[in-house]
Amino acid sequence: MTKYKGYMGRVLFVDLTEKTFSEFPWTDKDRERTLGGKIMAADILLHHITPEMKAFDEDNWIVVTTGPLTGCGCPNTSRFNISTVSPLTNIVTSSNCGGDFGLSLKRAGYDAVIFSGRSEEPVTVHITSDNVEFESASELWGLTTGETQEKLSEYKGRLVIGPAGENKVLYACVFSNERTAGRGGVGAVFGDKKLKAVTAVGTKLPEIANEEKLKEFNVKWTKLLKTHPLTGRQLPKLGSAGLIAPMQAHSILATKNFSAGRFDGFEKVSGEELAENHLVSNGACTGCVIRCARRVNVDGKVVKGPELETLGLFGPNILNDDIEKILKWNYELDELGMDAISCAGSIAFAMELAEKGVHDFGVHFGETDNISSVFEDIAYRRGEGNYIADGSKRMSDFFGGKEYAINAKGMELAAYEPRHAVGQGLGYATANRGGCHLNAGYMVVVEGLGLDVNSLTPHGKAAIGIMFQNLMECISAAGSCMFTSYAVLPGFLIAKPNMLATKVILACFPYVGPVVNLLSHFTKVPQINIPLLPHAIAVKLATGMKSNMAKFLTWGAYGWNAERMANIILGQKAGADKLPKRLTEELQDPNNPKTKVPLEKMKKVFYRARGWKDGIPTWHRLKTLGFDIDKSVYDKAVAAARTED
Amino acid sequence: MAKVTVKLFGVYRVDTHIANTEIDAQKLSDVLDELNKMAVGENKSSIAFADATVFINGEHCKKKKQKLNDGDEIWLLSPASGG
């Protein structure tokens, strides 16, 4: 139990081998150190994993965590997290989802659930407040995600996998309602454990430390989100798909396997095209006031529409300008249970290998008639699809082409071409889970899309990137949607880009690195709450725990270092923060020498600011942040990380 | 006077229902003024073309007094985020 409100105070531990369950010890000290969500999961995994543990080892755990704000009535706080050792990257992955499962888990009385072991037969786990039932999933095995959820429709909180998860496609995902824990292959780990589905139901709700004040505060927070130019206008009107046109303008729209940043047919696959000609209605995660999700018509059925990543990576990146096909593919991918980003990135890489005459996988740039059948081949691991199911890194290990296999640490990059947004490039390379735009610190929103900061200069990017990485880590851990973090940027900087004050402030951005570093490191300084970081105030009102901007930066830094140390113990090498040579050595614009990612130069600044050496946290940094890991474990892991591959 | 093509993106397009239009103008500010006159729709009062991010022939342009040439293609973009 816990003295803090906001939490349910219990963590469930489920042994799939023995079909038993128990309570996992988690104390208030642990809560104070990690807050919740992905930071809590990283800490649990850090203390559990052993050197060289692999995703499909029986000992690998799936850790599903919620944040303290989930269930407390705050806007956009139904998000939950799934962390595990990833089969795609062999390091920790954390995948965030906006489905109903997180809220339902709390209603069942738990803040988190850990799955260990492996069932011999397909199993569905039913969680209630006083029991856990293990039911055979033999009749569900083989069904798509939609079919499985239909069979389990009596349960509000659901987690399910589709055929891709069952067949251990390395980027298989997990569904909760229409929302997805998409990245890093968490669905494949479910499949390996024969865990077809999990349900959670209950009637409990967390107590609130200061209920009246939180209610008042939530009204203000909702108003902030609804009036901010990004969360109140652009996202509801155009969804994340609204980024296609600005990405084209700023030359960061990944095209033809990241060989270019602009695509002539971009308008046909844009957010405007989606909004004007295909949008049936907006959709939303539970409790969301932004409502950025798109609902579209596919073959007479209203289904979830594509996000920016799917439009970009199955559009320009494979030279396709047919949006109707992307709508259909998005639905098919969801039903099979595969991550659209990694699937598209792997197909684009296969197309380039075919174009270069290395190996013909049956997929070619601009040819799209067979993509649906390729999805089936991937999900069921048939023929050439079996190679593509393993992702671009393993394909490049086997066939070559590493310099244009567009992944970081084995995870395919999102749709932002980083040679025209070099801070985003640094983020991709350093992100703990691999080529993720959000874990990267989402610098593109500063480098042109939201703010007009010089996108080609490396100056200031490391410091600002670290601050965003830490804040977003903590915002996620609180249970909030990452998109609420955009409201951290003052509205006038975004809505009034041509105002003199905006121009002056943005011109200074590249030079604020030292100040930002001071704030990040000497956390006695920002012991304040600011209106633009409402999450910190809400945590204080909901839980009664001390919370402010400094705490958020510290929690975020703890999470970042916990995931990084777990990765080092799992065998990540010192030089792992890298990008394919296409992005660091080939110019996007042959006439502009700045259009490549100056990664090595930026990494030095980044590591110094993080208190890392060669990508590894120093012992001093870990102690400063309050880590309690064994020094001998640390020394052994660091020594192994410094050996050659 | 130069005849230029103007393309609206983001909330500008969704709010005004204007995707593409041709305008006779000498400089960029003339285009923005003309768009203000053309804008219709329920959200007209919230549309501020002066706040748009502008690209002319693929190049970012921050000068409102930028002179225009026949055949120029002007893009007006609103700020965006997503993921």
> What is the spatial distance between Cα B67 and Cα B53, in angstroms, rounded to a whole number?
17
> What is the spatial distance between Cα A91 and Cα A53, in angstroms, rounded to a whole number?
9
Range list for CATH 1.10.599.10 in chain A: 421-565+572-641
Nearest by CB to residue B11, choosing from A237, A241, A452, is: A237
Nearest residue in chain B measured CA to CA from A442: B83
User: Cβ contacts of residue A373 below 8 Å, gap of 6+?
Assistant: none
Judge whether A443 and A470 are in contact, CB under 8 Å: no
SS3 at position A644? coil
Nearest residue in chain B measured CA to CA from A497: B51
Share of chain B above pLDDT 90, in %: 60
The answer for A 289-318 residues in CB contact with B (under 8 A) is 292, 307-309
Nearest residue in chain A measured CA to CA from B53: A497
Beta carbons of A245 and B77 less than 8 Å apart? yes
What tokens appear for A64 in the block? 């599903």
> What is the spatial distance between Cα A535 and Cα A481, in angstroms, rounded to a whole number?
10
Task: Please report, for the domain that includes residue B20, its CATH number.
Answer: 3.10.20.30
The closest alpha carbon to A565, from A523, A609, A526, A623, belongs to: A623
Amino acid type, A489: L
Positive/negative CA dihedral, A469, A178, A64, A169:
negative
Domain presence at residue B16: yes
Q: What range defines the domain where residue B57 resides?
A: 2-77
> What is the spatial distance between Cα A230 and Cα A292, in angstroms, rounded to a whole number?
10
Minimum mean pLDDT among A81-95, A362-376, A503-517: which range? A503-517
The answer for B 10-39 residues in CB contact with A (under 8 A) is 10-11, 13-15, 19
Please give the CATH number for the structural domain made up of A241-412: 1.10.569.10
Q: What average pLDDT score do residues A164-190 get?
A: 97
pLDDT at B3: 96
**What are all long-range contacts of B23-26, with beta carbons under 8 Å and residues at least 24 apart?**
B25/B1, B25/B68, B26/B1, B26/B2, B26/B67, B26/B68
pLDDT at B80: 79
Minimum mean pLDDT among A137-146, A286-295, A381-390, A507-516: which range? A507-516
Q: Name the pairing type of β-strands A112-116 and A62-66.
A: antiparallel
Beta carbons of A307 and B79 less than 8 Å apart? no
Number of structural domains in chain B: 1
> What is the spatial distance between Cα A452 and Cα A498, in angstroms, rounded to a whole number?
10
User: Cβ contacts of residue A566 below 8 Å, gap of 6+?
Assistant: A42, A45, A46, A49, A91, A92
Range list for CATH 3.60.9.10 in chain A: 11-200
The answer for A 412-451 residues in CB contact with B (under 8 A) is 437-438, 442, 445, 449-451
| Mutation for B interface: A264, A292, A341, A449, most B CBs within 10 A | A449
| Mutation for A interface: B16, B61, B73, B81, most A CBs within 10 A | B81
> What is the spatial distance between Cα A287 and Cα A75, in angstroms, rounded to a whole number?
6
Judge whether A82 and A63 are in contact, CB under 8 Å: yes
**pLDDT over 80 (residue A517):** no
pLDDT at A520: 67
Beta carbons of B79 and A292 less than 8 Å apart? no
Nearest by CB to residue A238, choosing from B14, B51, B55, is: B14
Q: Name the pairing type of β-strands B59-61 and B73-77.
A: unpaired
**pLDDT band for position A168 (50/70/90)?**
very high
Element (H, E) at A160: strand A157-160
Q: How many residues does chain A have?
A: 645
Q: What is the pLDDT of residues A111-159, one digit of tens each?
A: 999 999 999 999 999 999 999 999 999 999 999 999 999 999 999 999 9
Beta carbons of B9 and A270 less than 8 Å apart? yes
User: The tokens 């695509």 sit on which residue?
Assistant: A263
Q: What is the pLDDT of residues A287-324, one digit of tens each?
A: 999 999 999 999 999 999 999 999 999 999 999 999 99
Nearest by CB to residue A229, choosing from B19, B77, B79, is: B79
Nearest residue in chain A measured CA to CA from B10: A242
Range list for CATH 1.10.569.10 in chain A: 241-412
CATH level 3 topology of A421-565+572-641: 1.10.599
**pLDDT band for position A494 (50/70/90)?**
confident
Distance from CA of B79 to the nearest CA of A (A): 5
Judge whether A347 and A387 are in contact, CB under 8 Å: no
Judge whether B44 and B13 are in contact, CB under 8 Å: no
> What is the spatial distance between Cα A528 and Cα A511, in angstroms, rounded to a whole number?
23
The closest alpha carbon to A345, from A374, A379, A315, A317, belongs to: A317
Beta carbons of A275 and B14 less than 8 Å apart? yes
Phi, psi of A447 (to 5 degrees): -90, 50
> What is the spatial distance between Cα A361 and Cα A342, in angstroms, rounded to a whole number?
16
- CATH architecture for residues A11-200: 4-Layer Sandwich (3.60)
Q: Is B42 on the interface with A (CB under 8 A)?
A: no
* Phi-psi region at A256: left, alpha or beta (left = phi > 0; alpha = psi -120 to 50): left
> Contacts of residue B62 in chain A, CB cutoff 8 Å?
498, 503
Q: What is the pLDDT of residues A620-638, one digit of tens each?
A: 999 999 999 999 999 999 9
What tokens appear for B31 in the block? 């285009």
Judge whether B52 and B27 are in contact, CB under 8 Å: no
pLDDT at A477: 98
**pLDDT over 70 (residue A524):** no
Global ipTM: 0.94
> Contacts of residue B82 in chain A, CB cutoff 8 Å?
235, 239-243, 292, 307-308, 483
Distance from CA of A437 to the nearest CA of B (A): 7
Mean per-residue pLDDT of chain B: 88
Minimum mean pLDDT among A41-50, A264-273, A545-554: which range? A545-554
Q: Name the pairing type of β-strands A411-412 and B20-25.
A: unpaired
Distance from CA of B24 to the nearest CA of A (A): 23
Nearest residue in chain B measured CA to CA from A309: B83
> What is the spatial distance between Cα A603 and Cα A620, in angstroms, rounded to a whole number?
20
Minimum mean pLDDT among A312-326, A406-420, A440-454, A607-621: which range? A440-454
Q: What average pLDDT score do residues A479-493 get?
A: 85
HEC string for A302-325? EEECCCHHHHHHCCHHHCCCCHHH
∠ Cα A210 A216 A218 (to 5°): 95
**pLDDT over 90 (residue A506):** no
pLDDT at A531: 67
Element (H, E) at A422: helix A422-430
Mean per-residue pLDDT of chain A: 95
> What is the spatial distance between Cα A195 and Cα A174, in angstroms, rounded to a whole number?
11
SS3 at position A133? strand
Beta carbons of A233 and B13 less than 8 Å apart? no
pLDDT at A15: 98
Q: What is the pLDDT of residues B35-60, one digit of tens each?
A: 988 876 655 656 788 889 999 999 99
**pLDDT over 90 (residue A451):** no
Domain presence at residue B57: yes
